[in-house]
Structure formats: C-alpha cells, structure tokens
Amino acid sequence: MTDTAGWGPRRRSVLTRSASVGVAVGAYGVSYGALATTSGLTVPQTCALSVLAFTGASQFALVGVLGGGGSALAGTATALLLGARNALYGLRLAPVLRVRGVRRLFAAHLVIDETTAMTIAQEGDRAGRLAFWSTGLAVFSLWNLATLLGALGATALGDPKKLGLDAAVGAAFLGLLWPRLKGRAAWVTALMSAAIALALTPVLTPGVPVLVAGLVTVAVMMRPGAATEPAQ
C-alpha cells in the first residue's frame, strides 16, 4: 500500500539519512584507526580489521585488550562476545531482506548496529531494504576510509601517551556504552561488571578480567527473579 505511494520522496529521505549515518560513523572510524595503531597494530592490520570484521565495538575491544597487554586469545574472545549481538540483528533483518545465495553473503557482512536500526525504523519492506543497503554501503565506505585516515594520522603524531591517547581509548569505550545505559538493569550491569573487572585486575592476566566480568555479570543478572528489562 504505502510502499508505492510517494516512493520518490521517501527514497530520497532514506538515502539522505543513510548518508548522514555514514558520516557520523566516520568519526568513530577515525578514532578507531588512531587508537588501533597507537595500541600496537600496524596500518595494514588496523585496516584489515575494519574491512573484514566491520563491527566497531568488537574492533575497539580487540585493540583495547591487545593495547592493555592482553593476549591475542583474550582479545579475540572479547571481540567475538561483543559481536554475538549481530546474530540477533540478522534474525530481525532476515524477513525484511529476504536475501539468498551470494546476496545473503554480502548482506551478512553489513549486519551491524547502524544498518539494523535504520532498517527496522522503516515502514514497509521495500523502504527497509533500501535503508539496509544504502546505510550499509555508506557506513562501510566511510568507516574504512576513516580508519585509514585515523591510522595514518596517528602514526604521524608521535608519542601516544604524551598526547593522552591512552585516555582516549577509555573514552571511546564509554562513548560506545553510553547509548545502551537505559534503565536500571543496564546501569546495574555496567557498574557490577566494571567493579568485577577492576577487582580481578591484580589477580588475572591482562585481558581476562574483562571476559570474566562480562560473563559473570550477565549470569548474575539472568538468575531467576532478577529484574532484567533492558532497553532494546
């Protein structure tokens, strides 16, 4: 019904918003590129992660754990746990996208926070599909371009500690966390996990406290009778 009525203006509005989401994400990409190289990744490694993993929070996590002296295994495990939410995004998107074969292989790579939010915000599957592909392509291009610029820029800057870039990593994690802190369960989860991670820092090897804190906190929050109504 409304799928065809006034399609032209709707199409333009979806495309404009996709482009602006892409630009906004570019800012994260510059930060990621800069922080990854100052955490010890080479420029090719930094860019490969953006092209191949293409999911910001996981990338920040891997880089943060490695930069903090954590092992490759701990960094990868943390990144994968953070990336698990994309599987649930895929579930919500599948009925709208209805992609098969090679198109599904491409579509899967673009399943991230931003494309999911844009797609499910549309009325009608046609607008949803347009939003998914246009947001996905805008974010993918600008995320990778921004990663490269940030990586090259930071390698040109010099001593990361003098520039406060170690503090910037913490601020970046907080910036990723902030929009999710809606409701009491979210705050309790965040504070409990932060406290457990710091308590375990002196006793476990770097990188592992974050993993243990994340898993223990979610287990506690999911115990029968716990009030867990996180904002979706």
Partner 1 sequence: MIWVAVLATAAGCYAMKLAGLSVPEKVLASPRVRTVAALLPIALLAALTAVQVFGHGRSVVVDARAAGLGFAVVALMLRAPFLVVVIGAAVVAAVVRALA
Q: Which of 84, 102, 156, 225 binds partner 1 (CB under 8 A)?
A: 84
Q: Which of 2, 69, 141, 153 binds partner 1 (CB under 8 A)?
A: 69
23 belongs to the binding site for partner 1 (CB under 8 A): no
- Tell which positions 144-203 bind partner 1, by CB under 8 A: 161-178, 180-181, 185-186, 189-198, 201-203
- Tell which positions 95-124 bind partner 1, by CB under 8 A: 95, 97, 99, 104-105, 107-109, 111
Look up residue 123 and give its DSSP letter.
S
List CB contacts of 113: < 8 A, sequence separation 6 or more.
56, 57, 89
Task: Closer to partner 1 by CB, 8 or 164: give it.
Answer: 164
Task: Closer to partner 1 by CB, 7 or 176: give it.
Answer: 176
Could you tell me the smallest distance in angstroms from the CB atom of residue 2 to partner 1?
25
Could you tell me the smallest distance in angstroms from the CB atom of residue 16 to partner 1?
19
Sign of CA dihedral 206, 30, 58, 53: negative
Q: Which of 21, 66, 131, 151 binds partner 1 (CB under 8 A)?
A: 66
Task: Closer to partner 1 by CB, 73 or 121: give it.
Answer: 73
Length of the chain: 232
List CB contacts of 91: < 8 A, sequence separation 6 or more.
none
Q: What is the largest CA-CA distance in the chain?
A: 63
Q: Is 3 strand, coil or helix?
A: coil
Nearest to 57 by CA among 45, 68, 49, 48: 49
Binding residues for partner 1, how many (CB under 8 A)?
A: 106
- Tell which positions 34-53 bind partner 1, by CB under 8 A: 40-42, 45, 48-49, 52-53
Task: Closer to partner 1 by CB, 112 or 127: give it.
Answer: 112
Residue linked to tokens 């867990």: 228
Nearest to 134 by CA among 8, 12, 5: 12
Nearest to 230 by CA among 194, 181, 179, 176: 181
